[in-house]
């Protein structure tokens, strides 16, 4: 199943080019009620990258979500070329279904050349990926609690180094961070655009979890409404998503029914690969509170 799930993701990222700046993209066979934001962002990233000269690396992706997508319909990716220079390229990608704008993404590519400044935050010390349980193992016994997680497409292998939200909640614990090893469940093509797109796709998986685990809550157990408003990724170094990467996330603030999740992707050697910030509407409705 895992290999076919990855094949589905790779097929979804293989956009159809209608003309120079218009692409269409499909959905996988298993979807949530609305188009998964990570999928939409990854496809928008691919659309932008396919209009940039080969070899120009990505630097930033910033997406604002406007409306939810219908998984029964294809997506349209309208690329606007904002800037093209030898070392720089900027694109805007509007994601549409017919007349409805679903999201707008700004994507920057830049070859900065060599520089003499190089530092990054340190990776947390965690257990090795194969020494911790797989996501499938962690979902055993929670099939009725978090059915959407159980039934979701799983092209990426997740291995939590800490208890995930639903296990933590069952133990009555709280956790101000989440740290997950990730890698593709199968062979990846020799295409840096697709490896970066897999990172973008995965960046939407656990980034909001620390908002609720900080309060000892969990999806499935508690009445929580969450929807992403905007999501940004900064690419610091090339990523190989057929090797393990560590996604370490925290939440610096939650206020006024909004929560911020921040994350860092690290390579196996501790090198910082990418930084993520996501803002979402996050509402908690205690059972004792009025509807």
Q: What is the DSSP string of 88-136?
A: EEEEEEEEEETTEEEEEEEEEEE-----S----PPPPP---GGGS--HH
| CA atoms 125, 251, 205, 265: torsion sign | negative
Q: In CATH, what is the architecture of 2-111+132-284?
A: Beta Barrel (2.40)
Average pLDDT in the chain? 95
pLDDT, mean of residues 184-194: 96
Q: How confident is the model at residue 2 (pLDDT cuts 50, 70, 90)?
A: very low
Angle, CA of 264, 10 and 123, to the nearest 5°: 15
Asked whether residue 27 carries a pLDDT value surpassing 90, the answer given is yes
- pLDDT of 291: 45
Closest CA to 165 of 157, 179, 175, 156: 175
What does the alpha-carbon distance between residue 205 and residue 159 come to, in Å, rounded to a whole number? 12
pLDDT in tens, 119-153: 999 999 999 999 999 999 999 999 999 999 999 99
pLDDT, mean of residues 41-48: 98
* Per-residue DSSP letter, 287: T
- pLDDT of 1: 41
- pLDDT of 289: 53
Angle, CA of 17, 19 and 24, to the nearest 5°: 40
- pLDDT of 54: 87
Would you say 262 and 276 are in contact if contact means Cβ atoms under 8 Å apart? yes
pLDDT in tens, 60-104: 999 999 999 999 999 999 999 999 998 999 999 999 999 999 999
> What spatial distance separates the first Cα and last Cα of the chain, rounded to whole Å?
40
Q: Could you tell me the CA-to-CA distances from 84 to 17, 91, 235 in Å, in that order?
A: 20, 9, 19
pLDDT in tens, 233-287: 999 999 999 999 999 999 999 999 999 999 999 999 999 999 999 999 999 999 7
Q: Could you tell me the CA-to-CA distances from 192 to 34, 52, 100, 197, 239 in Å, in that order?
A: 28, 13, 31, 8, 8
């Amino acid at each position: 199943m895992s290999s076919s799930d990855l094949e589905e993701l790779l097929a979804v990222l293989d956009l159809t080019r209608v003309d120079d700046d218009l692409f269409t993209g499909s959905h996988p066979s298993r979807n949530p009620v609305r188009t998964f934001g990570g999928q939409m962002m990854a496809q928008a990233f691919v659309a932008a990258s396919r209009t940039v000269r080969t070899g120009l690396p990505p630097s930033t992706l910033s997406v604002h979500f406007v409306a939810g997508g219908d998984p029964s319909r294809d997506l349209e990716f309208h690329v606007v070329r904002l800037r093209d220079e030898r070392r720089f390229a900027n694109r805007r990608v509007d994601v549409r279904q017919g007349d409805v704008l679903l999201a707008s993404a700004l994507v920057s590519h830049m070859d900065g050349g060599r520089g003499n400044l190089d530092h990054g935050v340190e990776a947390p010390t965690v257990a090795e990926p194969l020494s911790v349980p797989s996501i499938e193992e962690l979902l055993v016994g929670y099939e009725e609690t978090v059915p959407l997680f159980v039934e979701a497409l799983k092209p990426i292998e997740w291995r939590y180094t800490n208890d995930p939200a639903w296990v933590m909640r069952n133990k009555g614990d709280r956790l101000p961070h989440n740290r997950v090893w990730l890698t593709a469940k199968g062979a990846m093509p020799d295409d840096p655009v697709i490896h970066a797109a897999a990172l973008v796709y995965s960046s939407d998986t656990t980034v909001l979890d620390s908002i609720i685990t900080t309060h000892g809550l969990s999806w499935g157990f508690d009445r929580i409404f969450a929807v992403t408003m905007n999501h940004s990724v900064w690419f610091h170094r090339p990523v190989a998503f057929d090797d393990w990467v560590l996604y370490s996330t925290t939440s610096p603030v939650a206020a006024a029914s909004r929560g911020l999740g921040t994350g860092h992707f690290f390579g196996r050697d501790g090198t910082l690969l990418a930084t993520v910030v996501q803002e979402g509407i996050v509402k908690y409705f205690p059972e004792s509170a009025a509807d």
